[in-house]
A and B are shown apart, each in its own frame.
Chain A
Amino acid sequence: MSILSPDVFIKKQVAAVQEYSILSGRAIADIFTRPRYWADIYTQMDSIGVGSMPIIILSGFFTGCVLALQSVTALKEFGAVSMTGSLVALSMVKELGPVLTGLMVSGRNAAGMASELGSMKVTEQIDAMRALGTDPVRKLVTPRLIATVFMLFFLTIIADTAGIAGGTLVSVNMLGLNVNSYLHSSYSSLMHGDVVQGLTKPLFSGFIIATVGCFFGMRTTGGTQGVGRATTQAVVVSSVFIIVVDFLVTRLMIGIFGS
């Protein structure tokens, strides 16, 4: 691997940010103009949404279980075991549900998008698409963007529900808490702002997953090795972005709704 001088390295990074911004801008602009590839949008919704459901349910459920188990130890010291439901529900809805869903879908779909588009790029299929008069951003990126943002929203709700269900199961069956008081505590602790905060995050995560996955796919070079590299970069960058943006959105939401 060649070593780049600092100025060349910085120029390349700035150019990459510029390319990413242009790609994202075009993908958004194409939502509002024709033609729209509805068949591709539905196919992606099926692949991203329905296809991710098993991992989202499983990871959400067991995260809720672990959260209940871990938190009850700390809450016991303060005699606040009855607050377990509240803690699990708030943690799942505000933070763990959206972030976990984002990270799981990023691992599954950002990688899938980067490898699929990357393979198309190195075999000149994207050039062929352009040569045949089809805009690859409109045909490949925009449907993935729409599908990811739309489906991640609902996947997050499913993850939240599965997490709360997992927490309930552990709290009732293993820790001996009363099911009614547990659910009441969960429900009453959730405020309007918490739900809005939890459901705003997947909109950003969905955008990041689709645009980063497609961006690395569309700029793949270097054959099959390049496809592997693009896939890894897409997962790493989208995961880090999701966590960073999660922090920023949380801070923004605290500013709007208070703590």
Chain B
Amino acid sequence: MEENLSNTNVATKEPPDGKTPVVQFDNVSISFDVKPVLQEISFSVERGQTLILLGPAGCGKSVLLKLANGLLKPDSGTICVFGKEIDKLPRREMYALRARIGMVFQESALFDSLNVEDNVAYRLHEELMPEDEAHTRVVEALKFVELETAIDKYPSELSGGMRRRVSIARAIISEPDLILYDSPTGGLDPITSTTIIELVMKQRDVSHTTSLVVTHRLQDAFVLATHRFDAASGGMKPIPKDAVGHNVDPGTRFLMLNEGNIVFNGNTEELIHSDDPWIKRYLE
């Protein structure tokens, strides 16, 4: 059994104060083999916000998420997460900080030699949580993604959509302060995609977790922006129009990337009414 982790660190204990942006990119650039992937990117995500990252394939959306989690290091610029400059954090503190961030990978990235329960409980086991308590938490998380019957299965026995749901359960089990979704609906059929988007929405509206959602499916992005999770019916419902005639979620914003540059950063209404020809073409 592992000895106790370094999670006693300051990085795990400080609650977000609500004033400091949860994620802040300042002039961030990164290149792979001389080819620039992101150039001078600056934006911030406030607490409770959902930022949807849109853009054509290969424009650097997934790279941006990996930078936000410290899985990649920028060539220049600074990235602050929970007010801490992650570039300058020592290795130990970086791992402690990641314990506050949940991440859903493009291909789920489940540990194929562990069953669903052990995959979902991975972080709890690392924190040396007693087995009974961890099991209860796993069942709760699997209920959230409506997959409690698959608790003993191995990833190879699950469909793509089920794997994605397990991945979401693994990301939310420790109640993170920030969730990064890397194309959570990528490669899934439309019905399964809607189920996954509903889960992302549920997490947004029930737990109010700050999140960054990478997607290349406009439909998913707009469903997220225009719908709200309805706890009574257990499904999503369109947001009714407010006094000024807006029917969008105010906490959901958009960031559009093209060829490593930000082409749009704003809310849903601004995006819909943008005059930029490239954005118009993309949205069409």
Contact = CB atoms under 8 A, between A and B. Distances in A.
Q: Is chain B found bound to chain A in the same assembly? A: yes
Interface in B68-111: 69, 71, 91, 95-96, 98-99, 101, 103, 105-107, 109-111
A138 to B, nearest CB: 9
A35 interface: yes
A63 B13 CA distance: 60
B1 interface: yes
Contact of A34 (B3, B91, B95): B3
Interface string A163-179: 00000000000000000
B1 A128 contact: no
Given A124-B105, A125-B112, A131 B98 contact: yes
B126 A134 contact: yes
B7 interface: yes
A130 B91 CA distance: 11
Contacts of B123: 132-133
Interface residues of A, number: 18
Contacts of B101: 131
Interface stretch (A36-44, A45-53, A100-108): A36-44
B177 to A, nearest CB: 13
B231 interface: no
B7 A133 contact: yes
Given A34-B6, A39-B1, A127-B71, A132 B122 contact: yes
A37 B4 CA distance: 10
B2 interface: yes
B66 interface: yes
Given A128-B111, A132-B123, A133-B7, A37 B105 contact: no
Nearest to B103: A131
Given A36-B3, A38-B1, A135 B71 contact: no
B107 A35 contact: no
A123 interface: yes
Given A133-B123, A134-B95, A128 B103 contact: yes
A37 B111 contact: no
B2 A38 contact: yes
Contacts of A123: 107, 109, 112
Nearest to A34: B3
B263 interface: no
Given A123-B109, A124-B107, A124-B109, A131 B2 contact: no
Please report whether the interface of chain B is mostly helix, strand, loop or mixed according to DSSP: loop
B149 to A, nearest CB: 23
B5 interface: yes
A135 B1 CA distance: 16
Given A132-B122, A133-B7, A135-B91, A127 B2 contact: no
B2 A36 contact: yes
Interface in A129-185: 129-135
A35 B69 CA distance: 22
A135 B70 CA distance: 12
B71 A131 contact: yes
A39 B98 CA distance: 23
Contacts of B99: 132-133
| Of listed B69, B96, B111, residue having the most chain A CB within 10 A | B111
A144 B123 CA distance: 21
A40 B123 CA distance: 16
A35 B66 contact: no
A127 B105 contact: yes
A35 B5 contact: yes
B2 A125 contact: no
A134 B107 CA distance: 19
A38 B5 CA distance: 13
B83 to A, nearest CB: 18
A37 B3 CA distance: 7
Interface of A: 34-39, 123-125, 127-135
Interface of B: 1-7, 66, 69, 71, 91, 95-96, 98-99, 101, 103, 105-107, 109-112, 122-123, 126, 170
8 contacts: A124-B105, A124-B106, A130-B95, A132-B99, A132-B126, A133-B96, A133-B99, A133-B126
